[in-house]
Amino acid sequence: MKGKILLIEDNEQNAYLVSYLLGARDWQVVAASDGRSGLDLADAENPDMILLDIQLPGMDGYEVARKLREKNHLDGTPIIAVTSYAMPGDRENCLAAGCTGYIEKPIDPATFAEQVERYARNAE
């Protein structure tokens, strides 16, 4: 196994696709459907990487990213925004909130796992 990825994504179809693509590349994926449960899983699972949707119910991904960055045990853990927010400034807002990187939705199944793994390699 390559490592553990926490996916925080409220859309079941997107979560399934991401889990399938990364699982096929030997990643363990644990998933949360909202920010609060994502924060709890980050504490319980200590993931190697976090994939974070920005448009979440209750607590948006920007707030989740900021709260994740407050957790000492996640220092150095890549947080990648995977979002349909693609307007000018959205990428910068994700980075300012504490994300390490940014992948636009809709994801390309042919290249998505490689994009994610690039962030993992850069974190080593």
**Is-contact 93 46, C-beta < 8 A?**
no
* Mean pLDDT for all residues in the chain: 95
Q: For residue 6, which phi and psi values (nearest 5 degrees)?
A: -95, 120
Q: In which residue ranges of the chain is pLDDT below 50?
A: none
pLDDT of the residue at 46: 96
pLDDT, position 48:
96
Is 3-123 a CATH 3.40.50.2300 domain?
A: yes
Span 35-46, pLDDT tens digits: 999 999 999 999
Residues 99, 62 contacting (CB under 8 angstroms): no
Predicted pLDDT of residue 81: 97
Q: Are 103 and 95 in contact (CB under 8 A)?
A: no
- The pTM for the full model equals 0.96
